[in-house]
């Protein structure tokens, strides 16, 4: 959903001005995937890696605007199968382990010793997974709308929990699936999103996308539209990860937290986040002395909601000021 973030109540005045990348490239990973990578801001600045949501959301110019361009060297990339990376919507050789490998390859190619990880939703999941695999390559974590890749979180969103608050939208999400298959909507959508007929894939991609986007912000709308190919890539990739438990062992990110507890972290969490409820952020932060949980009132999940965006800019400015005074 992050790539559509500008549609969800952003307040441009709270963000840095739009900037253009000083470096754009495609990185061939040698297994059929090519990754789009860009850099913007200060080439000699403090490195920060932006990890988009989804899986399958891709990056957007909006995501460059949370960082002081005079201080930060901002790296963004489209994860496998989405955005400007190629091939589009491909789930071959596309797992969490592959994405962790991609991040490490990008770091080495760009010559970054260590970087701050900035990620929300699935981007927070991936930030935690990478940090736990390579803690010596991470300087800090800034997370938003925490998703830990656990079955209980998927059950909340695709098993009827969130639907209790949005019964009209939940009914629309379910009605395209025959009644006998509604006991496991992730699996039911999987059969259709991975049908041999691309047209059938596209027909089920938009309801999948609309359900998530409609709940992303307090001012979100169920009238979301998106290009067919974007919706198809987003839905296929997200469903692929979810049907496979995000390619994580259940509770893995919490069990392995000790590997990163020496790192500073800030979590920005909307109080009324219906996509990733605050419980996961609370579980992650509890007992982690160097982790600060900031619950934002009157805010939901979306990166672009004004209170969420303002708090994220504030966090990055605080990290900048701390580094400058060290």
- Residue 273 is a catalytic residue: yes
Examine the residue annotation and report whether 197 is marked as an active-site residue of this protein.
no
Long-range contacts of range 282-285, CB-CB < 8 Å, 24 or more positions apart?
283/148, 283/254, 284/128, 284/143, 284/146, 284/148, 284/253, 284/254, 284/257
Please identify which of the residues 60, 121, 280, 304 carries the catalytic annotation: 121
d(CA 118, CA 229): 26
If phi > 0 it is left, if psi is from -120 to 50 it is alpha, else beta; for residue 305 that is beta
Q: Where are the beta strands (DSSP E) in the chain?
A: 23-28, 34-41, 46-51, 72-77, 115-121, 138-146, 265-270, 291-296
From the CA atom positions of the chain, what is the Rg in Å?
19
The active-site residue out of 68, 78, 102, 273 is 273
The rounded distance, in Å, linking the Cα atoms of 115 and 117 is 6
Please give the order of strands across the beta sheet that includes 46-51: 23-28, 34-41, 72-77, 46-51, 115-121, 138-146, 265-270, 291-296
Q: Which two tokens stand for residue 187?
A: 């699996």
Whether 75 contacts 143, CB under 8 Å: no
Sequence length of the chain is 326
Cβ atoms of residues 14 and 306 within 8 Å: yes
Asked if 54 and 122 count as a contact pair (C-beta separation under 8 A), the reply is yes
Which of 85, 102, 301, 304 does the annotation list as catalytic? 301
301 is annotated as an active-site residue? yes
**35 bridge partner residues:** 27
Unique residue bearing structure tokens 């932006």: 50
What amino acid positions are annotated as catalytic residues? 121, 273, 301
């Amino acid at each position: 959903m992050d790539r559509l973030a500008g549609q969800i109540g952003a307040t441009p005045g709270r963000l840095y001005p739009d900037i253009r990348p000083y470096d754009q490239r495609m990185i061939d990973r040698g297994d059929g995937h090519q990754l789009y990578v860009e850099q913007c801001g200060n080439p000699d600045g403090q490195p920060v890696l932006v990890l988009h949501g989804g899986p399958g959301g891709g990056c957007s110019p909006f995501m460059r605007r949370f960082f002081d361009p005079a201080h930060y060297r901002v790296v963004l990339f489209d994860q496998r199968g989405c955005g400007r990376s190629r091939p589009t919507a491909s789930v071959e050789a596309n797992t969490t382990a592959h994405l962790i490998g991609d991040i490490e390859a990008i770091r080495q190619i760009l010559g970054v010793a260590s970087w701050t990880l900035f990620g929300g939703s699935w981007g927070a999941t991936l930030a935690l997974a990478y940090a736990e695999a390579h803690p010596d390559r991470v300087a800090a974590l800034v997370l938003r709308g925490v998703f830990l890749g656990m079955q209980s979180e998927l059950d909340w969103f695709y098993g009827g929990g969130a639907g209790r608050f949005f019964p009209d939208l939940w009914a629309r999400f379910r009605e395209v699936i025959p009644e006998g298959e509604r006991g496991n909507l992730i699996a039911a959508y999987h059969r259709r999103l991975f049908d041999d007929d691309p047209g059938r894939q596209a027909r089920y991609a938009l309801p999948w996308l609309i359900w998530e986007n409609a709940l992303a912000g307090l001012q979100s709308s169920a009238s979301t539209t998106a290009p067919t190919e974007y919706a198809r890539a987003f839905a296929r990739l997200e469903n692929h990860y979810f049907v496979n438990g995000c390619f994580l062992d259940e509770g893995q990110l919490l069990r392995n937290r000790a590997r990163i507890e020496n790192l500073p972290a800030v979590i920005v969490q909307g109080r009324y986040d219906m996509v990733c409820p605050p419980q996961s952020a609370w579980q992650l932060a509890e007992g982690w002395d160097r982790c600060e949980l900031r619950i934002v009132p009157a805010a939901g999940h979306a990166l672009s909601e004004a209170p969420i965006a303002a708090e994220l800019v504030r966090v990055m400015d605080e990290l900048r000021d701390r580094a400058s005074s060290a």
